[in-house]
Amino acid sequence: MSIFTGAGVAIVTPMKENGEVNFEKLGELLEEQIAGHTDAIIICGTTGESSTLTHEEHLEAIKYTVEKVNKRIPVIAGTGSNCTETAIHLSKEAERYGADGLLLVSPYYNKATQKGLIAHYTAIAESVKLPIILYNIASRTGVNIQPETIAYLVNHVENIVGVKEASGNISQVAEIAALTDGKCDIYSGNDDQIVPILSLGGKGVISVLSNVAPQYTHDIVAKYMEGNVKESCQMQLKALPLIHGLFCEVNPIPVKTAMNLMGKEVGPFRMPLSEMEDAHKEVLKNAMKDFGLKLA
């Protein structure tokens, strides 16, 4: 059984002006997402600025989210690291807090071999009982989890059940689907490829777009799953200018900027992320207006 089907939000981590995590605001965002029919919460992923959270903040954000959501929808905790022991520690704690699943990014910077990736993911999976979604995003980590490696892991490690595919390579996604024969839940890691990945048997998306348009993103997947492929495709295409705006600078700079423009007050970024360039902000504003989002 899949951890979730539909649109899961890769939720931002709101900050206070002094740089501390704003848990009160996080609670508001979680309630808005649930009201908007988001199908799962993914906490402490790339969009959540996990790379600049301390381990204490990281775990506190997971614990807070699990308690606030209170089993209304699944909570998937980002617990990946380029250090296997760190990933094991974070994963064990997330399991202890009651998370429903884990999202494990491929080890960054040290660029493990495919053999190393198998050892890394197997060690983490064996330390917990929670279902695990691999996160493949070579543009950030410097290493691609090859389709053969994904197939090996889902076939040999019981609780590795899926992959968030953010390679942007549809041919690779097709190869994963072919090699795993339905055993791997595939989620789009790119908002502009939701429908293409659904057409290859995908289960949904782990979405940045959902931060500003939760119901809309949910509906793209829901309509496809109901058999209304044409309308799902039309919605995907309509959202492209906004999606491009949300990625015209490195994530999560545009999406947090968009949320602040909407009056959601998610605060500043952690350095080395910086404020959005004015020219890019205008592109984002125009895309938001054209899509129908209300600016404060």
**Secondary structure of residue 41 in the 3-state scheme:** strand
At 257, list the tokens: 């900027």
Q: Is 238 a catalytic residue?
A: no
**Active-site hit among 25, 63, 164, 264:** 164
What's the distance, Cα to Cα, between the start and end of the chain in Å?
41
**Active-site hit among 135, 152, 187, 216:** 135
- Spatial contact of 174 and 181, defined as CB atoms under 8 Å apart: no
Q: How, if at all, do strands 6-10 and 204-207 pair?
A: parallel
Backbone angles phi and psi of 186, in degrees to 5:
-105, 125
Cis status of the peptide bond prior to 272, with omega within 30 of 0: yes
Q: Is 164 a catalytic residue?
A: yes
Give the CA distances from residue 47 to residues 23, 154, 250, 265, 292, in Å, rounded to whole numbers and listed in that order. 16, 26, 10, 16, 23
Residue located via tokens 């740089």: 19
C-alpha 257, offset from chain centre: 18
Name the nearest CA neighbour of 259 among 218, 207, 220, 296.
Answer: 296
Q: Which residues are identified as catalytic? A: 135, 164
